[in-house]
Structure 1
């Protein structure tokens, strides 16, 4: 698995990087077929102060790509919200894949009547 953490208009400190990695472990615990994770942390000058810090993530997993993003006043809170969204998406993907694989094959036996 490849993990890329980058910052836009802010420097990603080792503490911030460690926080992101520790939070992403929760997502990885539910689904182990992750190929690549890309996290983008950014700071924007918006008029709404509570939406200035952004966290975006793209996860490439076997058979699909998941994307999520969040905005908040505090970058750590934005990361927490982002991981919650990703966790829900990964769990939904996992249940869809497991449901598809474990669904019984419905076969109708056609009877041929001879007259």
Structure 2
């Protein structure tokens, strides 16, 4: 893995760079073959909040996690834990499909250790199903609807493009828009 570590309002010291590479490098144990990919790490500091965002694009899989903490080293540990959980969930899903379909999986994962087995056996259960008509509207109206409902996201048909879009509230209090291609 090649590391691209950049800092915003923070100097990336050699010790911090080495710590990040060491911690994220431990994720390689989940793969039989080391993935040849770029690891993008963005570090930022605003007021007293230290934030890390890690993106690892792979073929047909995107690992991404972000975490905030008062201590950057603690934030690194937390984000690596999130990435490990994502890998385990994906690995369980791939292995389950492999057993059901008896096809070769896209990713070849190393065997799960015994103490990690209980974490990967969790089921993805849908506990509620909703159906509703999507109304054509613009993104501003969708944000108003989302806020009136008290939700963190809202699905709508964009009146201009006639495609399904999603608006969502970001952690920083601003809004995001997801458009289908």
**Under TM normalisation by the shorter chain, which class is it?**
0.7 to 0.9
Moved >4 Å (runs of 4+): none
Unmatched 5+ residue regions in structure 1? 106-115
Contact kept in structure 2, 1:26 and 1:87, CA below 8 Å: no
Match of 1:35 in 2: 37
Deviation at 1:29, TM superposition (A): 1.3
Q: Choose from 97, 100, 105 the match for 1:100.
A: 97
**Comparing 33-42 and 66-75, the one that deviates more:** 33-42
Per the alignment, residue 25 of structure 1 pairs with 25
Question: Aligned ranges for residues 44-55 of structure 1 at < 5 Å?
Answer: 44-45=46-47, 49=48, 52-55=49-52
Contact 1:6 1:39 in 2 (8 A): yes
1:51-77 deviations in whole A, cap 9, x for unaligned? x00011011122111210000000100
**How many pairs are equivalent?**
100
Shift of 1:30: 0.8
8 Å CA contact retained: 1:3, 1:37: yes
Q: What is residue 7 of structure 1 aligned with on the other side?
A: 7
Task: Tell me the distance in 1 between the aligned counterparts of 2:57 and 2:43.
Answer: 18
**Cα displacement (A) at 1:13:** 0.5
Structure 2 unaligned blocks of 5 or more: 103-181
> Which structure exhibits the higher relative contact order, with contacts defined as CA atoms closer than 8 Å and separated by 6 or more residues?
1
1:23, 1:80 within 8 Å by CA — same for their partners in 2?
Answer: yes
When the two structures are superposed, what TM-score results if normalisation uses the length of structure 2?
0.51
